[in-house]
Structure 1
Amino acid sequence: MNTIAAHIADFLKDYQPFDNLTFEELSEIATSIRVVNLEKHKTLFQINDVLHDSFYVVASGVINLSVIADAEETLLNKCHKGDIFGLRPFFAKNNYMMTAKAREESIVYAIPIATFRPFVANNTLVLNFLLESFATNTPNHHDKENLRGKLISDNVFYSDQQSEIQYFQSLTYNTSPLTVLTTAVIKDIAKLMTEEISSSVIICENNFPIGIVTDRDMCTKIATGRFQITDSIATIMASPVITVVENVSLAEAQLLMLKYNVTHLCVTLDGTAKSVVKGIISEHDLIIAQASNPGVLIKEIKRSQTPKDLKQIRERLTDLIQNSIHKNIPISHITNIASEINLAIIKRSVELSILDLGSPPARFAWLSIGSQGRKEQLLMTDQDSILVFEDVTPDKYREVKDYFLRLGRRTTATLEKVGFDLCPNGHMGSNMLWCKSLTDWTKQYNSWMNTPGENSNDLSSLFFDFEIAFGEPKIEEALENIIFKNAKNNTLFFDFLGNDALKKNAPLSFFKKFIIEEDGENKDKFDIKTRALMPLIDGARLFTLHYNIKGVNNTYMRFKQLAMIDPKNAEIYLNCADAFQTLSKFRTIEGLKNDDCGQFINLNEMSKIDKEKLKNNFAPMRELEELIKGKFKLTQFS
């Protein structure tokens, strides 16, 4: 082995995933590695370039990875010594989706994928490292313990929340693939594939898959004259065929294609070659699935020009939620992703209003309140928002407020076209009551919190759950500070809020029967929102304000945080967190089934097991109720 290759092998052994290979293996790989010298600002590859045959490791210097979104170059990551980047050729056949440029004079090692692939396929640790890093599209999470190197994916979806869905994102694939017997003649199959516009055919024996022929096989084996068109299809098939279960995820499919160096996977009933064929997944299907990735949806939202564009993206989110629930993904993961996309839609709606109206005359914040403010909006519920603008001189106030009311009306009209109904109670930034200056909002919160009984018809707890969708974060921060300042030792406020939480209607009667709606369009249905979810939401908010927990709006996360702050009652909080997740899932399934907000559950359509499961999740609510009564010295009638 030459000295350069020995030097490279010695360098690689200190970094992941190469530290999982033997020095002999590294030495073998190193002999085919190219050393690339890059001057400062020199580009190695850029967006839409055809993929290289290698991936890269930084030997010295710094490589910047960036994308261009909305005509702006955005730096995604900096790769330092030992970092891997440019992995895209491992996983996809379409062009690069980002630019790699030397920030300073740098040296990178180009590792040919053809050379490295066998070592990946034979080493689970290497394979898992690549898969995890590519599928999560974040700097390597092992770094917290081990700072010797991180792996940067050549993909564009960088936040944890946006990318975790690749682990469970479902694939749409051909569920009626071509299947033939081993005795079929190549000529007939080629004709059949052409007629059916199919890129593959599965060869079966006793209804089980034993091999596969792709259009590439037809080109490389028949067109070259190696086999005759009168031969049987079995002579050119690849065998065995790689099989997967029906609900395989995008990341799992990518892994298997990488591991076995194939372009098609055969879907069977139990995922083995000893069961019936249910479908075929092609590389093309993976590329299509990438387009439904939350990161892609958010990019499309940023480019949207009309409410119609946004509506189509929101509908794709509904499909994504449905697929994820079908795959039994934790509802907290699904909620994370849905809230990011909903937030991006709200933000874009405000941006489109500003493009129409011109620049705002003052800084402001558009805040989502209620369920979206808590990042819990999975279904298309009505919109709740407030608008807060910075203080301006009295002579400008009227003119400034008029602009923001127009902005509010345009934005809520856009969101209505997307599918978010207007709030029936008028809790929206387009309402002059809820569009005002920071000083006016300060007075409003002071009044609500210090004299709550006097204007209780005004006080709605949803104003205490908010999240900035657009604008100046310092305004949101100022509002939060006002709330927590007023909450300190405010017995009257907690008495009011605590009693409000206890007033919610019980889910079950004395005889443990569901309390259902007695009249109206939802007669005989169970109101899961008011009777089951709201007591948990209100309880979590009450204790969060009491314990001065800032910046945590989500009910599930509030309970998790409370369990740490008040360990004596941790079990109650954790039970409430689990109950909230389960009840949210029941509501979401109902909403998806009926294409509504899922508030009213038709108990007649539920199985006995599900009804019991629903009832079991009411138990933590009673524990929470007792905790509220004890902590705030309340009775239900105080």
Structure 2
Amino acid sequence: MNSIAEHIADFLKEYPPFNHLTFQELSEIATSIRVVNLEKHKILFQINDALHDSFYVVASGVINLSVIADAEETLLNKCHDGDIFGLRPFFAKNNYMMTAKAREESIVYAIPIATFRPFVANNSEVLNFLLESFATNTPNPKDKENLRGKLISDNVYYSDQQSEMQYFQSLNYNNSPLKTTITSTVLEVAQLMTETIMNNVIVCDNNMPIGIVTDSDMRSKIATGRFPLTASVDKIMSSPVITVQENVSLAEAQLLMIKHNMTHLCVTQDGTNKSAVKGIISERDLIIAQASNPGVLIKEIKRSQTPKDLKQIRERLADLIQNSIHKNIPLSHINNIASEINMALIKRSVELSILELGSPPARFAWLSIGSQGRKEQLLPTDQDSILIFEDVTPDKYRDVKDYFLKLGKKTTATLEKIGYELCPNGHMGSNMLWCKSLTDWVKQYNSWMNTPGENSNDLSSIFFDYEIAFGEQKIEEAITNTVFKNAKNNTLFFDFLGNDALRKNAPLTFFKNFNVEEEGPNKNKFDIKTRALMPLIDGARLFALNYNIKGINNTYQRFKQLAITDVKNSEIYLNCAEAFLVLSKFRTIEGLKNDDSGQFINLNELSKIDREKLKSALAPMKELEELIKSKFQLTQFS
């Protein structure tokens, strides 16, 4: 092995994904690698260039990756030593979508895809790394430091879910594929493909796949005159067919195509070629699936310039949620991803307002409260938010508050256009009451918590579920410190919150039937939000505040944490956590079905099994109620 190749292999083994390969494998790859010297500002490839046959690793120097959006160049990323870029030829057939340009004198290694492909096919860690880098355009998706504020999301933990989502993400594909039999001639098949505007046909024997013919077979084998049009179709088909099961994930499909160097996969009933054909997956289906990948959606949000752009992404999020539920992906997982995308939409809405109004005159924080603050918003419910700006001198106060009220009004109007309705109770940063300085907010929380009941009509417990969507983290921390300082030994406050949690009507009657609405437009329906979910949400909040559990707002996660903090009651908390997920899923499915918030469940439409499932999810609520009564010594409503 020559010394240059050895030097390259030595360099690569330090960096992912090459660290998953043996030195032997790396040496093999290294012998076919080209060393490319780039002068400062030299372009390696640019937007719309035809794809190269290699992808690249930076050996030294810095490569800038950028896109052109609205006539200006936006820097997506800087690639340093060991970073990978230019992966598009691996996963997509269309031209480059970004420009790679040397920021200074640089050396890059060009790794031929044909050489590297077999190593990817045999190593799922390498594939996952490449998939993830491609989906996020982050040179090293696992590098937590580099991710900070770079391209994907400001919450670093998101990166790990990226690969999980790749694994789970479902594929939409053609489930009424063209089929023909082995006795057909090439001419008949060509006519069939032309009439149906399809570029592939599965050759079947007794509805089981034995081969596939694609456009490229027609071009390479018929147009070149290798076979006559009268030949039988088995002469030109590719065989055997690579088959998969119906619920194959994006990552698995991608792995198989790379492994077998195929552009199509055949979906069959049991995933083998000994069962009936159910559909066909093409490379194009994979590219489309990639586009509704959470990482890709977040990137698009960051580049969006109008509420209309954001609305389209919000609609794609709804599809993502629907597909994920259909695929039985765990709800807690769907929640994490949906809340990341919701938060990114809110953040971008605030940014667009600032772009229009000019720089803010003071630091501030935009907090989402309620279900968005708890990261439980799978359905488009109304928006709830508060705006807190830092303290300023009295002479500036008026102008500063005016600016932030304008910012609030613009942002809530944008969010309304995206599909988040305005809050009917006016709990929004555009409302004078809920847009104020930090000192005023601290006073507000002090008053709510130390004299609850005196002005209880404006104490809404949703103000204790908040998550920063934009702005200064320290402002959010100041509010959290105020809340937990006031909660300490505050019997009056817990008495008030405890009774509030117990005030909701029981979900089941004395005879264990569902308590349904007696009148109005939702007559005979079950209000799953008020009767089932709210008592769990209130209970989780109450105990989290009492046990000083900071930074966890999500109801499911609050119960999980409570089970660790208050061990003797852990069983109750874990049952409540599980119940919360089951009930949320019922609500989400109902909402997706009727395109609403899913609050009212039509029990007549549920199967007997689902009714029982719903009923048993309500059981832990009784235990939670008893626990609240004994813990806070609440015998009757005070």
Q: Could you tell me which residue of structure 2 aligns to residue 268 of structure 1?
A: 268
Which AA in structure 1 matches 2:168? F
User: Within 5 A, what are the aligned runs for 1:360-379?
Assistant: 360-379=360-379
Q: Could you tell me which residue of structure 1 aligns to residue 562 of structure 2?
A: 562
Q: Could you tell me which residue of structure 1 aligns to residue 208 of structure 2?
A: 208
Q: Could you tell me which residue of structure 1 aligns to residue 529 of structure 2?
A: 529
Q: Could you tell me which residue of structure 1 aligns to residue 632 of structure 2?
A: 632
Q: Distance in 1 between matches of 2:75 and 2:143?
A: 23
Q: Could you tell me which residue of structure 1 aligns to residue 445 of structure 2?
A: 445
Q: Could you tell me which residue of structure 2 aligns to residue 198 of structure 1?
A: 198
Which AA in structure 2 matches 1:324? S
User: Within 5 A, what are the aligned runs for 1:160-239?
Assistant: 160=159, 161=161, 164-239=164-239
Q: TM-score, normalised by structure 2?
A: 0.89
Residue 548 of structure 1 and its aligned partner are, at CA, apart by: 2.2
Which AA in structure 1 matches 2:591? G
Q: TM-score, normalised by structure 1?
A: 0.89
Q: Could you tell me which residue of structure 1 aligns to residue 406 of structure 2?
A: 406
Which AA in structure 2 matches 1:288? I
Which AA in structure 1 matches 2:446? N
Q: Could you tell me which residue of structure 1 aligns to residue 319 of structure 2?
A: 319
Residue 103 of structure 1 and its aligned partner are, at CA, apart by: 7.2
| Inter-CA distance 245–433: structure 2 relative to 1 (3 Å threshold) | same
Residue 528 of structure 1 and its aligned partner are, at CA, apart by: 1.0
For each residue in 1:486-513, what CA deviation from the matched residue of structure 2 results, as whole angstroms up to 9, or x when unmatched? 1122221122112212222221222222
Q: Could you tell me which residue of structure 1 aligns to residue 383 of structure 2?
A: 383
User: Within 5 A, what are the aligned runs for 1:459-470?
Assistant: 459-470=459-470
Which of 126-135 and 28-37 deviates more? 126-135
Which of 442-451 and 99-108 deviates more? 99-108
8 Å contact 1:137–1:163 — kept in the other structure? no
Identity %: 79
Q: Distance in 1 between matches of 2:271 and 2:134?
A: 24
Give the unaligned 5+ runs of structure 2.
none
User: Within 5 A, what are the aligned runs for 1:114-153?
Assistant: 114-122=114-122
8 Å contact 2:64–2:103 — kept in the other structure? no
| Inter-CA distance 104–496: structure 2 relative to 1 (3 Å threshold) | same
User: Within 5 A, what are the aligned runs for 1:248-263?
Assistant: 248-263=248-263
Whether 2:415 is the aligned partner of 1:415: answer yes
For each residue in 1:426-477, what CA deviation from the matched residue of structure 2 results, as whole angstroms up to 9, or x when unmatched? 2122222222222222221111000002111111100111122233333222
| Inter-CA distance 95–546: structure 2 relative to 1 (3 Å threshold) | farther
Which AA in structure 2 matches 1:307? P
Q: Distance in 2 between matches of 1:338 and 1:143?
A: 23
Residue 561 of structure 1 and its aligned partner are, at CA, apart by: 2.4
8 Å contact 2:135–2:290 — kept in the other structure? no
Whether 2:397 is the aligned partner of 1:397: answer yes
| Inter-CA distance 180–507: structure 2 relative to 1 (3 Å threshold) | same
Which of 132-141 and 259-268 deviates more? 132-141
Which of 128-137 and 597-606 deviates more? 128-137
Q: Distance in 2 between matches of 1:14 and 1:313?
A: 38
Which AA in structure 2 matches 1:187? L
Which AA in structure 1 matches 2:216? R
8 Å contact 2:136–2:296 — kept in the other structure? no
Which of 582-591 and 269-278 deviates more? 269-278
Q: For 1:538, what is the secondary structure of its paired residue?
A: helix
Q: Could you tell me which residue of structure 1 aligns to residue 34 of structure 2?
A: 34
Q: Distance in 1 between matches of 2:211 and 2:197?
A: 20
Q: For 1:457, what is the secondary structure of its paired residue?
A: helix
Q: Distance in 1 between matches of 2:573 and 2:507?
A: 19
For each residue in 1:14-73, what CA deviation from the matched residue of structure 2 results, as whole angstroms up to 9, or x when unmatched? 766556666655544343233345567766555554433223455x54655644486565
User: Within 5 A, what are the aligned runs for 1:89-100?
Assistant: 89-97=89-97
For each residue in 1:550-582, what CA deviation from the matched residue of structure 2 results, as whole angstroms up to 9, or x when unmatched? 222111222222233333333332222222111
8 Å contact 1:5–1:31 — kept in the other structure? yes
Which of 599-608 and 486-495 deviates more? 486-495
For each residue in 1:569-622, what CA deviation from the matched residue of structure 2 results, as whole angstroms up to 9, or x when unmatched? 333322222221111111100111111101111111111111121122223323
Which of 255-264 and 6-15 deviates more? 6-15
Residue 299 of structure 1 and its aligned partner are, at CA, apart by: 3.3
Q: Distance in 2 between matches of 1:256 and 1:460?
A: 53
Q: Could you tell me which residue of structure 1 aligns to residue 283 of structure 2?
A: 283
Q: Could you tell me which residue of structure 2 aligns to residue 619 of structure 1?
A: 619
Q: Could you tell me which residue of structure 1 aligns to residue 491 of structure 2?
A: 491
Which AA in structure 2 matches 1:424? P
Which AA in structure 2 matches 1:89? P
| Inter-CA distance 175–79: structure 2 relative to 1 (3 Å threshold) | same
Which of 46-55 and 110-119 deviates more? 46-55
Q: For 1:391, what is the secondary structure of its paired residue?
A: coil
| Inter-CA distance 623–48: structure 2 relative to 1 (3 Å threshold) | farther
Q: Distance in 2 between matches of 1:303 and 1:14?
A: 33
Q: Could you tell me which residue of structure 2 aligns to residue 353 of structure 1?
A: 353
Q: For 1:497, what is the secondary structure of its paired residue?
A: helix
Which AA in structure 2 matches 1:418? I
Which of 38-47 and 322-331 deviates more? 38-47
Q: Could you tell me which residue of structure 2 aligns to residue 300 of structure 1?
A: 300
Which of 555-564 and 316-325 deviates more? 555-564
Q: Could you tell me which residue of structure 2 aligns to residue 588 of structure 1?
A: 588
Q: Could you tell me which residue of structure 2 aligns to residue 246 of structure 1?
A: 246
Q: Distance in 1 between matches of 2:309 and 2:17?
A: 42
Aligned-CA RMSD value: 3.2
8 Å contact 1:79–1:85 — kept in the other structure? no
Which of 364-373 and 581-590 deviates more? 364-373
Q: For 1:265, what is the secondary structure of its paired residue?
A: strand
Which AA in structure 2 matches 1:207? N
For each residue in 1:273-303, what CA deviation from the matched residue of structure 2 results, as whole angstroms up to 9, or x when unmatched? 2222222221122222222222333333334
Residue 124 of structure 1 and its aligned partner are, at CA, apart by: 5.9
Q: Distance in 1 between matches of 2:465 and 2:142?
A: 34
Q: Could you tell me which residue of structure 2 aligns to residue 111 of structure 1?
A: 111
Which AA in structure 2 matches 1:486? N
Which of 529-538 and 303-312 deviates more? 303-312
Q: For 1:545, what is the secondary structure of its paired residue?
A: helix
For each residue in 1:341-393, what CA deviation from the matched residue of structure 2 results, as whole angstroms up to 9, or x when unmatched? 22222233333434444444443322211101111111111121222223333
Q: Distance in 1 between matches of 2:25 and 2:398?
A: 74
Q: Number of paired residues? A: 629
Q: For 1:372, what is the secondary structure of its paired residue?
A: coil
Q: Distance in 2 between matches of 1:464 and 1:107?
A: 53
| Inter-CA distance 457–241: structure 2 relative to 1 (3 Å threshold) | same
Q: For 1:51, what is the secondary structure of its paired residue?
A: coil
| Inter-CA distance 137–413: structure 2 relative to 1 (3 Å threshold) | closer
Residue 7 of structure 1 and its aligned partner are, at CA, apart by: 5.1
Q: Distance in 1 between matches of 2:211 and 2:116?
A: 26
| Inter-CA distance 375–257: structure 2 relative to 1 (3 Å threshold) | same
8 Å contact 1:185–1:233 — kept in the other structure? yes
| Inter-CA distance 572–133: structure 2 relative to 1 (3 Å threshold) | farther
Which AA in structure 1 matches 2:205? E
Q: Distance in 2 between matches of 1:567 and 1:271?
A: 45
| Inter-CA distance 340–22: structure 2 relative to 1 (3 Å threshold) | closer
| Inter-CA distance 27–444: structure 2 relative to 1 (3 Å threshold) | closer
| Inter-CA distance 400–108: structure 2 relative to 1 (3 Å threshold) | closer
Q: Could you tell me which residue of structure 2 aligns to residue 436 of structure 1?
A: 436
